[in-house]
Structure 1
Amino acid sequence: MSVVQLDEYGPWTVEPAPRRETDLQALQARLYADFADFVGRSDGYAFFNRFDNMLGVTNNIDAEEYERFQERVRNRYPVTVSVGIGERETPVEAVEAASTQLQAAGSAQDPERREVLRASETTDSTGDITVGHFDIVDVTGSFTDNEHAAAAGLAIQQAMVALRQRLLSEYDSIAQFVGGDNMIAVCPSLSEDTFGDIVDHVYDQTGVEYQVGIGSGPTAHAAGGQAKQALEHCRETGTRVHEAMAVHQRATDD
């Protein structure tokens, strides 16, 4: 996992005078798009997180590539970025390691910290990545067509917070809203029953019912593609939890 942090961003937004909020939002959106393109070329995932602090699932991206990304940001934007890289057994542990690398280099608002690139020690782990792709069952009928947009958005966000908290606190997983009613989670290897317990917990807490497709692979893109296929199986059959290998096995049996 990588943590990408804008250098001294808070002070920059108000000096020499407070900048227009829409201009800041546009800058953040463009920078996130560039980061998503960067990790996507290596089959990674980008999570916008807080926009001034972004997360990446960035297996197989070496230091020289990160340096080129930092140069691209420096040349295109009025800000620079620092990058921490963490490699551990679970996504949360990897993010903690990446964050520690940046924090050891200085505060995010330290004017002397510019374009830091630090990585934790590597491990011998070669296991696959597991991705869960969640979406809300019949979000159109439950929310979009029956609630005004603000109320629907709030209900969906509350359910997503419950999902993110459960994944983070109990399963060392990192989840991110990716648009509409969709959440993507990068996880350790978890069983279908465990994913079932997760969606049951969120339903008990919020009354919002999720379905989830599960995939595994050597990169985030490979695992995410499998998870999307499994999610389509859920949508077509009404299954609440499905793992992609079962889809392939069924296709082989047929």
Structure 2
Amino acid sequence: MIQLTIIKITEYGPWTLTLGSDREHRLQILQATLYKEIQNLFSERNCLAFPNRFDEIFVITNGLSVDDHIEIQKELAKSFQLGLSMSIGQGNTPYEANLNVDKARRSKITLDKDHNIFGLPLQKEEDLVQIIHMDVDGSTSISANKSPYEISSLILKLYSEMSEFFLVRNSLAFFLGGDNFMIISSAIDKEGITKFLDLIRQQHGISFNCGIGTAKTGREAAKLATKSLDKIRELRDSGTERQRILELTC
């Protein structure tokens, strides 16, 4: 079972209007600072946050209780003078957890009204989190033939196709910057991942490396996924037979 928490700035539109027209630089600074603090507070508790549309942040929160969320909400309130809601959802897949977050938020089902925390009653089932970490193989050679903006356009196109491919498989993909992506996955096997890698190579002539990590928490799963990816690079650089996919489990 995956536990997902979505943090959202509440009444964001009306609040931005109070800043006047010369506000965009302030909003960008605020969003970056908020993400930094959320990532810091949750990663200390072995969770991992992913930015989504800048005014909304997804966090894998397996192992965290409502009380843990309240403590984090209190810390955020000390640093930011704006409303933040937390909505917690659990599901057999990341996509299902996302749907349950949305259901609780729209229905205003609260777990703690005083601290603006929404969600259905949490089950204390222990389960594993699977994260896939992908990066472009040979990205340096790609960047040598394209301008910076053309590279960004290509990366966003790859992200869009990745998101659609994995969403129908009940998994959630996130762009992490550079040529790095992470997918909160739903027990996708290597055969399914290979299908995506082959599709991208056929359509764009681009190869991905793929590390998979499975553990009890989001941060630990991401660590193992990245360790797998690092191992693929080591094998490539040593001249050993190349692997596109490598998996580590805690």
Counterpart of 2:239 in structure 1 is none
Equivalent in 229, 242, 247 of residue 243 of structure 1: 247
Q: Following TM superposition, by how much is the alpha carbon of 1:5 offset from its aligned partner in structure 2, in angstroms? A: 0.8
Task: Note if contact 1:59-1:219 (Cα within 8 Å) is conserved in structure 2.
Answer: yes
Q: Following TM superposition, by how much is the alpha carbon of 1:65 offset from its aligned partner in structure 2, in angstroms? A: 2.3
Q: Percent identity?
A: 24
Stretches of structure 1 that go unaligned for 5 or more consecutive residues are 107-112, 249-254
User: Residue 44 in 1 paired to residue 50 in 2?
Assistant: no
| Separation (CA, whole Å) in 1 of partners of 2:153 and 2:213 | 29
Stretches of structure 2 that go unaligned for 5 or more consecutive residues are 237-241
Counterpart of 1:252 in structure 2 is none
| Separation (CA, whole Å) in 1 of partners of 2:102 and 2:74 | 21
Q: Which SS does the other structure have where 1:121 is aligned?
A: coil
Q: Which deviates further from its counterpart, 81-90 or 187-196? A: 187-196
| Separation (CA, whole Å) in 2 of partners of 1:174 and 1:95 | 9
Task: Note if contact 1:136-1:181 (Cα within 8 Å) is conserved in structure 2.
Answer: yes
Task: Note if contact 1:158-1:206 (Cα within 8 Å) is conserved in structure 2.
Answer: no
Deviations 1:14-65 (A, max 9, x none): 1262352111010000000111011101111100111211100011122222
| Separation (CA, whole Å) in 2 of partners of 1:126 and 1:61 | 11
Counterpart of 1:226 in structure 2 is 224
Q: Following TM superposition, by how much is the alpha carbon of 1:75 offset from its aligned partner in structure 2, in angstroms? A: 2.3
Counterpart of 1:154 in structure 2 is 153
Q: Following TM superposition, by how much is the alpha carbon of 1:146 offset from its aligned partner in structure 2, in angstroms? A: 2.2
Task: Note if contact 2:9-2:84 (Cα within 8 Å) is conserved in structure 1.
Answer: yes
TM-score (norm 1): 0.87
| Separation (CA, whole Å) in 2 of partners of 1:167 and 1:76 | 36
1:1-254 paired onto structure 2 within 5 Å:
1-15=4-18, 17-105=20-108, 115-123=115-123, 125-143=125-143, 145-169=144-168, 171-235=169-233, 236-237=235-236, 238-244=242-248
Letter in 1 for 2:67: E
Task: Note if contact 2:105-2:119 (Cα within 8 Å) is conserved in structure 1.
Answer: no
| Separation (CA, whole Å) in 2 of partners of 1:205 and 1:69 | 44
Q: Which SS does the other structure have where 2:210 is aligned?
A: strand
Aligned length, in residue pairs: 238
Task: Note if contact 1:43-1:222 (Cα within 8 Å) is conserved in structure 2.
Answer: yes
Q: Which SS does the other structure have where 1:86 is aligned?
A: strand
Task: Note if contact 1:80-1:115 (Cα within 8 Å) is conserved in structure 2.
Answer: no
| Separation (CA, whole Å) in 1 of partners of 2:5 and 2:192 | 26
Task: Note if contact 2:211-2:229 (Cα within 8 Å) is conserved in structure 1.
Answer: yes
Q: Which SS does the other structure have where 2:91 is aligned?
A: coil
TM-score (norm 2): 0.88
Q: 1 or 2, which has the higher strand percentage?
A: 2
